[in-house]
Chain A
């Protein structure tokens, strides 16, 4: 944890540069938006003045009286209406177009952030603190009201508001400066209160996140139907509900505290509001009593309320930008940061790899327990290696290290003599076809599930018709060779059949064995120089298991292969066996050698095979 924090640095992005960057991106991605903002500034900046002048205009005409007062009143109101209708309508239209476009701008960031998350080094994926720290930053691209879109929606209206405020301040020039001073003080106090409130909450955000996470746990546990059986059989229901309620209450206590703080801070604003309104009415009333026309009184009252509203909005927008800028700044930092530590060389291997572990130490980031200490071990070129061992011996970790998902804490790993550090991650990933115990079928078409959206014989996604056909033939070939061809041909849409029901209600779902076959087809299609199988048969029946074993020989022909399993039968089709225990590599050799040795492997094999022996053959 500490290391990752240090590596990722904690540079803070200030509000102004964040705003400039937002605007620069907007100018580049959607320049028309800038023009719209200028138009909006004029239209929406002027509109409020009409409402301010209206009472003065009308009452002024009435106060003045005269013969054609009726005609003048009607004419004035007609002019007012024409101006207000045009400005009001145009303002609303522009506003909604602006906001629609701002929503689109968010997609631009969403794409960047998404790629970043899927390409960053895998160790961050397993680092809970990384997700916790960056939760709000990631959500900055994924929310209408906050984050980037929220900031854009405030930014566009600030210039118009400034126009309004400047104009109104000029109009209010004739007014007692005390009123204006009180007004400004009020707005500043409100901004201060809002900022204080934000800070107070920001400081407690982890506490709140923790309380929310705990509620979330009970929410998830209850909403996840797969917990249903155990909850019923072991009668966990009441306990869970009780704890759920307890956690809700404890979050509520925190929120009450936050709200109380906000309320108390807000009392300062009530005080300044009292001063401001008292001054306003007091001074205006006195002035009217000493001769100012009532029409001016009405105008000033409406002027000051409009000014106050405009200034409060501005203050609110500014604090919003400051507060939200923090999260958007975090998002920008995340996007800018290098979350991929990798070599710079473009390396293409000749033939199938040989992997050498040399004095490798490894512990997971944030953990003190070493999985390996000084591991030395080689997977030879073209060899089929079975890795066996007790639970917790770090068999799967080995896969994470050689695929570059994690880096060794110390020591080196060489692939065909080249230090793994020198590889670019994408080149490294390209080396492996991996099949895991947990098969993740995605809600994409069967074709996409097999190809991963990547065409093996073309780098671009769009291919000309014939190339696409040729590729489909290959997809069918691999499906045939794992025994899924029949099933896929049975679908009306063939390879275009969607998987899972979550997206497409006509989607299909496979049984456990079929899913495993699909994932093997994925590995076959990729045709990488090295094959890794990590417990692919744990949930399968004996016949399906045997089928997978048969497939294995097909996939690995001419390749280096690693097969991890608790089922020692898998050693039958492997050349070498590496047995790991909690202290690392314990035994290494061929099945015969290890059986001869009568060590741990022999023990395991006989223990597992004990009850498979025919009578009289028992060991």
Chain B
């Protein structure tokens, strides 16, 4: 009888497996399909002719679904296929973890069989690892080998590739060891799988590890085995792991009817892609149109000067960007002597040092560098390492450069490797700045990653798009989603040309509609300058012109504009008496060298991961620190940070334990409870309890509770709460008290006074997903604190086991409210003190406006300290909102915490020396509504609006740039008026 054939078509590979009637494996294969799915399957089928003229066949895999449907062949869902194969090969297994190209799955076999698959927005898969290897610029096997030599693991977000990049890039720029980063990436994948998929169920017993990545990557294996604490006997890595699903499909094929191989091939060959995809217009109708386009843009070029013959002064600009490093040397009349543009490959410092040597060799003693200026992510480090004269925040550098090309410029858009920057210009000053958020960065590096995945250079890949006949519509949300859109388009038969053009259009649409949030192209302005390396790509440039309907200026040095702006800055700011730049000399460069070391700063409880670079001449540079202490400097004497003040004061609330205490009650320090800690502490202490708080937040605390997180896309404060609950359970409190409150306290300035759904009902989720919580040790009554009668009733009922009388509860509740009011009054008073002191000292003040629980340093990542270090005093929204007028806004003003934002903005809008920065938690749906209103309030009164998105990403590099840009723009605006 015929053999069984299983075909597994995944997102990146095709796997085949042939079994005989006795279920013995005769043949397996594993190849990458490079998105040529159907062709690849057909080629593979040719190789199995020797195993029979006909087969029982079954297809599986994410990309197999469409093929099976179109060819009308049997299909089995891949997890089901794996399930079948496991029962056949490893009947004693307890669980299996399978990582594929785009999917991650866990199968529990014993103790209640269950199969789980990652959600639509989960990284931690093979594609994620590929993406990270591209970022490190090493092949995946090398990354694997490196990871085995790691000494430490950095926390890296693995939920989404874009997030991970924002964690990794700064590490690279700070000179962290690649081996450590590689291991951290694998650890992130493990954490993602264990927390995101297992969700509370323990992965224990005999565990199988399946799928390509787990088969090929030793470092990943090791990370899994260590995290799950498995021994060799219980961690099984099957020899046939990559083809396991194909094996499962072959087993499933036993139920299907026999099919001649020829018929099979004919069916697959005939299964043409039906066009489910939407296509747009070609970028250029003809070669002539393209030529005219090229000729027009050639006009915005800079002149060159021969570096080998020129004699005189020169200015050096260095832009150390997130993924590329740029250098430019110009003459005083702005002719280019030398320029360089290069991918970082991880070590910007080495690149710059190398190029400096090259420059010194070229200029000899004919040319004198009079000034040098550094900008970009690596600004601080390079400035310290190379002793450059100036540093300028990159937004200002770009602005300066654009002004040079068009003095009337009113809009600048810069799309770089990893970020998008847009500036609106009014009266020759930056009026507003828009930067992409962590999640919607459809930027240049995406095209690059994709080109590489197609085995092409970026230039070649984008050229292909220029004359595509039917560019594919790929959506405009985020790169991860675009990634699967691209795959789907390929499955539908779109050509590489169409996809290339489609990607260019996506990047442009993402920038215009999501980052700038323009509703119509007219909002952008009349004189647009586009820049950034991505715009060197003609397809992107053309897409931009088509989408906006405007002809724009793209300087030929579009990719070097940051460096050019820095050079201009050096030229403008070098005093006449300075004849030579202080930058490292040729001689010093000869002996240049450095070593890097990562340590945990013990300066305070924040425990920043800092990186110390030690240079050959003994100087040191510290990065990753949030305050002066990390850099080994004494702390600023007058901390003007209301966030830190509040947090410390909260933890000082509980009184000493009395021997007579009725019992111990634990309060978790997050979400709704955060602000109500004074209230409930006083309440329970009046009732005769000893009150204890959960541990202070940290990344470790988050990991401790991560396995009970039910919804991956909830905000970080909510997810962190799971750790707080674990901490209280470990403290052996008698019970945890955490009420559900649909309504917050009515502050009489909004239509209603709701809490957001997550804040209101999180106790329900905790109870449902943490098996350690019981009716006895977790007390979560439903309360409305605005109504004393019902609140007393509910508390009396909830605490009835503790023998508290209703009058006592009423008295305690009143004491609680008094403590709540006193705490608030103290915060307001301290806020006033900070503001007055800042005013006396002539310093600027920023209201960091978020939620009360953003005061947790693990949530705000020490932004307050950062602002203090930049010389700015920090207030919180709850300290100032009562000084703001009541406001009427466009949206339904119905949440207590959010109503404060509007009034805090109103307050800030009337002060000359106070600005407002809105802190927004990633995933906060309600802030999608409030941000527009806060912006409207500030902009109506001529203030800048700045928003900072925070998540578990513990890196303030981008935030720092944003805050410095804001301060520079405020200063500039102040100077103009």
| A complexed with B | no
B interface residues with partner A (beta carbon < 8 Å)? none
A interface residues with partner B (beta carbon < 8 Å)? none
